[in-house]
């Protein structure tokens, strides 16, 4: 499986995504330059974390107009997988690949720590290697992670099982105390309607190496691999 990782000016999670794919999974990985119109035959496109265009104006606002995004949108339309992590999630929302928006954390501060999230949808192409309600330990590192959307959008996300992950207590319970950035319904990650675009604030690509902590992000990548094999 070939992973294509987009490098926008200001991306910095591209390196981590690349190493997760190439080292932890041993799959083929390539960087995709934002000015190009070429996905280099990637199967999975990753919109990585970081600060594309410095997060100036609004996180993700400028990056969505990069030339490569035309191809990324087309890739999504074809039903091919797009994994949008952190800043990538913000870009995906701005680009209309996912509904809603990510706003300043409720604490108004940047938060870098390990959080626990509960798997809400364990059947998507990104998550079927997890079991339902499994609790994962994943790092977060963001200032603008508070997910919001219009009530009808939230309702359809909930009704269609498109909430992929929710911030939770270590025992899986949900509550304000664990809603680290104040997202609506503790939403940490969502899927698009056809289930081939996943946006999430936590960093699965930083949680693939036991040397650095619990490798709970691996399941996400293994889900993608298994999906193709199947």
Partner 1 sequence: MELYRVPVQIVPRPGILDPQGAAVVGALKTLGFASVVDVRIGRFLTVDVDADSAEAATLIVQRMCEKLLANPVIEDFALEAPRVQPRGKS
Partner 2 sequence: MSEVLPRPGDPAITPELVKEHGLTPGEFDRVSKMLGRAPTFTELGIVSALWNEHCSYKHSKNTLRTLPTEGAAVIQGPGENAGVVRIGDGIAIAFKIESHNHPSAIEPYQGAATGVGGILRDVFTMGARPIAMLNSLRFGSLDSARNRYLFAGVVRGIGDYGNCIGVPTVAGEIVFDPAYDGNPLVNAMCVGMLREDELILAKAQGVGNSILCVGARTGRDGIHGASFASEDLSEASEAKRPRVQVGDPFTEKLLLEASLELIRSGHIVAIQDMGAAGLTSSSAEMAARGDVGVTIDTSLVPVRETGMTPYEILLSESQERMLVVALQGHEEAVRAILFKWDLTAEVIGKVIAEPVYRVTEGDTVVAEFPGSDLVTQCPRYDVPAREGADAIRLRAMDVSAIAELPEERDPAWTMLKLLASPTIASKRWAFQQYDSTVRTNTVVGPGGDAAVLRIRGTDRAIAVKTDCNGRYVALDPRVGGRIAVAEAARNVACTGARPLAITNCLNFGNPTRPEIFFQFTEAVAGISEACIALDTPVTGGNVSFYNESPTGSVYPTPVIGMVGVIDSLEHITRSTFRNVGDAIVLLGDCTDEIGGSEYLATVHGVTGGAPPGCDIVRERGVINTLLQAIQAGVVASAHDCSDGGLAIAIAECMMSDAEATTGADIDLAPWDSLPDRAVLFGEAQGRVIVSSGDADRVLQIAAENSVPARKIGVVRSRDEGLTIRVGRQKVRIGTDQLGEAYHTAIPKIMNTTAQAIVIDEVEGVLA
Binding site for partner 2 (CB under 8 A): 9-13, 15-16, 19-20, 49-51, 53-56, 104, 108-113, 139, 141, 143, 203, 205-206, 209, 211-212
Of residues 157-186, those binding partner 1 (CB under 8 A) = 182
Active site (annotated) includes residue 94:
no
Instruction: Please identify, using beta-carbon distances, which residue of 40 and 104 lies nearer to partner 1.
Output: 104
HSE of 31 in the Cβ direction (CA atoms, 13 Å)?
14
Residue 136's beta-bridge partner residues?
A: 117
Q: Which of 110, 85, 104, 191 is nearest to 146 (CA)?
A: 104
Partner in contact with 101, chosen from partner 1, partner 2, none, beta carbon below 5 to 8 Å by kind: partner 1
Instruction: Please identify, using beta-carbon distances, which residue of 35 and 77 lies nearer to partner 2.
Output: 35
Q: What DSSP assignment string belongs to 146-201? A: EEE--HHHHHHHHHTT-EEEEE--TTS---GGG-TT--GGGEEEEE-TTS-EEEES
Q: Which of 112, 131, 132, 150 binds partner 1 (CB under 8 A)?
A: 150
Instruction: Please identify, using beta-carbon distances, which residue of 29 and 97 lies nearer to partner 2.
Output: 29
Active site (annotated) includes residue 128:
no
Residue with tokens 């265009």: 53
What is the largest distance, in Å, between two alpha-carbon atoms of the chain? 45
Instruction: Please identify, using beta-carbon distances, which residue of 50 and 182 lies nearer to partner 2.
Output: 50
Residue with tokens 């996300």: 157
State how far the Cα of 50 lies from the Cα of 40, in Å rounded to an integer: 22
For residues 45 to 74, the per-residue mask of contacts with partner 1, x marking binding by CB under 8 A and - elsewhere, is --------xx-xxx--xx--x---------
Annotated catalytic residue, options 34, 75, 86, 93:
86
Partner in contact with 209, chosen from partner 1, partner 2, none, beta carbon below 5 to 8 Å by kind: partner 2
Neighbours of 213 (CB within 10 A): 15
Annotated catalytic residue, options 71, 94, 120, 205:
205
CB of 65 to partner 1, least distance (A): 6
Active site (annotated) includes residue 93:
no
Burial class (CB in 10 A: 0-12, 13-18, 19+), 78: exposed
Catalytic residues: 86, 203, 205
């Amino acid at each position: 499986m070939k992973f294509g990782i987009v490098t926008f000016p200001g991306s910095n999670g591209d390196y981590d995504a690349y190493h997760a794919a190439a080292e932890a999974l041993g799959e083929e990985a390539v960087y995709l330059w934002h000015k190009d119109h070429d996905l280099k035959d990637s199967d999975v496109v990753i919109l990585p974390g970081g600060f594309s265009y410095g997060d100036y104006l609004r996180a993700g606002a400028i990056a969505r107009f990069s030339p490569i995004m035309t191809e990324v949108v087309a890739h999504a339309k074809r039903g091919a997988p797009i994994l949008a992590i952190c800043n990538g999630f913000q870009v995906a929302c701005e680009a209309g690949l996912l509904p809603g928006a990510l706003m300043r954390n409720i604490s108004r501060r940047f938060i870098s720590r390990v959080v626990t999230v509960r798997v809400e949808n364990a059947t998507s192409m990104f998550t079927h290697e997890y079991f339902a309600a499994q609790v994962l330990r994943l790092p977060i590192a963001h200032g603008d992670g508070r997910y919001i959307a219009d009530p009808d959008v939230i309702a359809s996300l909930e009704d269609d099982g498109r909430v992929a992950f929710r911030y939770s207590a270590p025992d899986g319970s949900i509550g304000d105390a664990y809603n680290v950035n104040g997202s609506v319904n503790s939403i940490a990650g969502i899927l698009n309607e056809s289930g081939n675009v996943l946006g999430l604030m936590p960093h699965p690509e930083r949680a693939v190496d036991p040397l650095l902590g619990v490798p709970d992000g691996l399941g996400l990548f293994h889900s993608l691999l298994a999906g193709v094999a199947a």
